[in-house]
Amino acid sequence: MVPVTVTPGLEINNRFGVFNHTDLIGLPYGTKVSSRNGRGFVYVLRPTPELWTLSLPHRTQILYIADIAFIISCLNIRPGSSVIEAGTGSGSFSHSVARTIGPSGRLHSYEFHEERATKARDEFALHGMTMVELSHRNVCQQGFALLDEADAVFLDLPAPWEAVPHAKLAMKKNRVTHICCFSPCIEQVLRTVNALNRSGFTDLTMYETLLRPHEVHQVPKLVSIDSIVEQVKLHEIKKEQRRLQQVEASDKKRNNLKRKREQTEEGGPDLDLGTGDQKRRRDLDASHPSTAVDVDSTVTKHTLDPSSPPLNHKEARLAALATSTPMSKPMPEVRGHTSYLTFATLLPALNNEMVMEKNDDPDNVGARWEDTETTDAFDQLLASIPEDELDRVLAGQALADG
C-alpha cells in the first residue's frame, strides 16, 4: 500500500502495471482501476488515519491501530478535546487524534529530534491538520510550556517518569483528566508508576494489547435430536426388512434344492428349474435378493421448479447461508508484545490552595500559610446568616465560654 498525491501528467509504475494519474481524477473512492498494460489493477481508497498508519514512512517505531484505538478510548479523547502528545515520531498516533478531536480541538505535539519534527510538521501541513501545533522541545527538561491546558496527555518517551511532573502542570485542574505512558519495558513501567504516585495521580492501571485473529467458516447447521431419532428408527426398520428378506430368500432356496433333490431321485425332468444356465441365475438371484430403497425418505434433494429463473450469485450465497452456521476459531499464532500502556487519572484539585503572606522579617521567620479559599467560604457563610440569629449564637457562645 502506497500513498499517492494525484498530479495530472504523472504515472505510477509498479508490479501491477502502469497507471496514469489523469485516469484517477474524478473517480469515486473504492473504484477498481485496471492498468494500461493489463497486468493488474489498483483500488482508489479514501485517505484515513488507519491507511496512513499502514503506509507512512517510518522514522521511528510507530503505534498501530489496536493500541491507538484503545488509548483514545481510555483517555476519553473526543471532539473539542485539548491533547498533549510527547514523542511525535512518525505521526501515526497524531493523525488518529487529529481526526478524533476535529477542528474545534487542539493537539500539542512535541518532538525532541529536530529533523523528525520538521518532516512531521510538513506532513501535517500537507494533510491539512491545522489543529496540530508541533514544537521541537525536550519536555523532560524544559516542560510543555503550558498550564491547565490539556484534557489528556500521552507520553511516548524513553523516560516518561521525568515528564510526569511537567505533565501534571499542563493538565486541567477543574475536571477529571487522564494520562497514558507508552513503554516497551516493565522496568520503565515501574519507574513511571512511582512518578505518577508521587505526583498525586490515581487509578493507575497497566494494559498490554495483543491481537487474536479468528478464522470464520460456514458449516452446515446441526441436526436436531428428533431428526436423528427418526433416522435411527428408519434405519432399524430397513435393517429388519433386509433381514426378513434374507430369511425368505434362504427358505426359498432351501425349498428349491429340496424339490430338485426329490425330482432327481424320482428320475423325472426338472421342469421348474429349466436349463443349467437358468438354474444358476435363479440360484444367484435367490442368494442376493434386490432390496427396494425409498430414496425420497433417505436423501433430501433440493429441487427447483424448471419454470423458475436460476439463482444469481447473491441469491445462491444467501441460500447457502440460510442452511449453514458461522463458526470461528482463534489463529494458532498471536502477534507478539508491542508495549505496555500505563494509564492514570488526575482528579480535580480542591479549592484550598495555600498562599503565603510575607512580613517584614528578612528571614521570613514570621511567614504563615493562609487557606484563602476556606476563608472566603467562611465569610460567605457568615454573610448568609441573619444578624439577629448571629448575635444570638454569639451571645450563647460567650455565655458558654464564661
Binding-site annotation, residues: 111, 156
Residues shown for the chain = 402
Residue 298, SS3 per DSSP: helix
**Pairwise CA distance, residues 121 & 89, whole Å:** 11
How many CA atoms are closer than 13 Å to the CA of 306, on its beta-carbon side? 0
Within 10 Å of residue 238's Cβ, how many Cβ atoms?
A: 16
Within 10 Å of residue 278's Cβ, how many Cβ atoms?
A: 10
- Strands annotated E in 68-162: 82-86, 106-111, 132-136, 152-155
Within 10 Å of residue 90's Cβ, how many Cβ atoms?
A: 21
**326 φ/ψ angles, rounded to the nearest 5 degrees:** -75, 135
Cell of 128: 491539512
Answer positive or negative: Cα dihedral of 37, 41, 45, 48: negative
Binding-site residue set for S-adenosyl-L-methionine: 111, 156
Give the distance, in angstroms, between the CA of residue 323 and the centroid of all CA atoms in the same chain: 29
Given a contact cutoff of 8 angstroms between Cβ atoms, the answer to whether 59 and 48 are in contact is no
Given a contact cutoff of 8 angstroms between Cβ atoms, the answer to whether 308 and 278 are in contact is no
Which residues have a Cβ under 8 Å from the Cβ of 273 and sit 6 or more positions away? Answer: 256, 260, 279, 282
Between the alpha carbon of residue 148 and those of residues 109, 233, 278, the distances in Å are 16, 79, 110
